[in-house]
Amino acid sequence: MVKIDPERLLSDLKRLRSFGATGPGVVRLALSPVDLASRQWLVERMTQAGLDAGIDGIGTVFGRSRNRGPALVIGSHTDTQPTGGWLDGAMGVIYGLEIVRTLAENVATKHLAVDVASWIDEEGTFSGLLGSRSFVGDALDESIRGATNRQGQHLEDVLEAAGLAARPRARFEPGRQVAYLEPHIEQGGRLEAAGKSIGVVTTIVGLRELRLRFTGQRNHAGTTPMAIRRDAGAALVAFIATMNDAFAQLADADTVWTVGRIELDPGSLSVVPGAADMYLQFRDANAARLQAMESRLAELVRDFNARNGVSAEMTTIDEPMEPVSMQSALAEHLARAAEAVAPGQWLRMPSGAAHDAQVIARCMPACMMFVPSIGGVSHDFIEDTAEEHIVLGCQVAATAAAAILQDQWAKRS
């Protein structure tokens, strides 16, 4: 079994953490100055590890192995949420870097080819999963022209200012790149609750994102009797309760839904809201259940409009994401590696979060593995994972990576 270098792994992770460090967390939004600086550091580290590395025309850092033969791509993302944790995405990228070095140091594995990627903008500062979508060949020119961040910066202008716009973009190499592995923190509490150290991902859930707009009549809060109000805000709140009951009847233990934002117009204490928007997301690993939830929501809107003075309208915010299954043969490699490194300390589980792996799976077999998140917390400054689990996870990933590639070599011999 190949052996990783724990000190080297943790040192690189902590160095990456220093780019945008804010208290215990990190602020490293995609293509911000600090993100670009971290990407240049990554290029240097990948180059030192023997990869041909660079930042491509969309902002992805890609390190290509010089070894011949079938290649395994290992990657994730290093951009963060506005109040991000230090491991979300970053851990998987540094795992890839450490695995390249580990395999190169072992006589039996030094010929194996591992490419490493830090996909740009997984978190959606400009456009979610941008780097992986570019890699698989999605037509993105129109999206790039229209994409802006919350500060109103245009993605096109930011790429030009960074000197990236004219560079070629990393692309999938059919026949050479044979599989994709994305190690990640769990971002939930299932592993911790079960007392397990490794999660072998079976499915990445699908999701829907919708906006419901309620339109009533803006009016004076002091002089408008309750009986004749057309209060869009009150209607929205009542609708959420009805929706929760309806979704609960369709859900299983892994189904989740969230009203992440509510906006009232005009948002004044002295004015009955004339309009109210709620932004809804729901996720599930079962495509049929997702469709059933969307259909039930549409029925609730129709019923609401038939009996209320406030009207409701449902619109789609973004393209739906369908559930994506991880390739079973790759998942078995991960399971065998987990059993060899941490006997009995692993389980199979779905991913409730979106990941680049669900995009990459469109062009080649993909798999994911998780390590525990302390308290189940992620997308927050206090996100953390025990160092022993970080190290253990990398050892499992390295063991699986070697086995995956050796299996590919055996098939070609």
pLDDT 10s digits, 94-145? 999 999 999 999 999 999 999 999 999 999 999 999 999 999 999 999 889 9
Return the amino acid letter for 207: L
- Determine if residue 184 is labeled as part of a ligand binding site: yes
pLDDT digits (tens, 9 = 90+) for 54-79: 999 999 999 999 999 999 999 999 99
What local confidence, expressed as pLDDT, does residue 240 receive?
98
Q: Report the C-alpha gap between 36 and 234 in whole angstroms.
A: 45
For the chain, domain boundaries: 6-205+323-412, 207-316
pTM, whole model, 2 decimals? 0.90
The pLDDT of residue 83 is 93
What is the predicted pLDDT for the residue at 143?
86
Per-residue pLDDT of the chain (413 residues; tens, 9 = 90+): 999 999 999 999 999 999 999 999 999 999 999 999 999 999 999 999 999 999 999 999 999 999 999 999 999 999 999 999 999 999 999 999 999 999 999 999 999 999 999 999 999 999 999 999 999 999 999 889 999 999 999 999 999 999 999 999 999 999 999 999 999 999 999 999 999 999 999 999 999 999 999 999 999 999 999 999 999 999 999 999 999 999 999 999 989 999 999 999 999 999 999 999 999 999 999 999 999 999 999 999 999 999 999 999 999 988 888 999 999 999 999 999 999 999 999 999 999 999 999 999 999 999 999 999 999 999 999 999 999 999 999 999 999 999 999 999 998 87
Query: Annotation-wise, does 111 bind a ligand?
Result: no
The hierarchical CATH code for the domain 207-316 is 3.30.70.360
Do 6-205+323-412 and 207-316 agree at the fold level? Answer: no
| Contact predicate 141/364, CB 8 Å | no
Q: What is the pLDDT of residue 319?
A: 81
Closest CA relative to residue 363, chosen from 400, 403, 324: 324
Question: Residue 379 annotated as binding?
Answer: yes
Residue from 141, 118, 98 nearest 8 by CA: 98
The pLDDT of residue 250 is 98
CATH of 6-205+323-412, one of 3.60.21.10, 3.20.20.70, 3.30.70.20, 3.40.630.10: 3.40.630.10
Q: Which two tokens stand for residue 242?
A: 């009805």
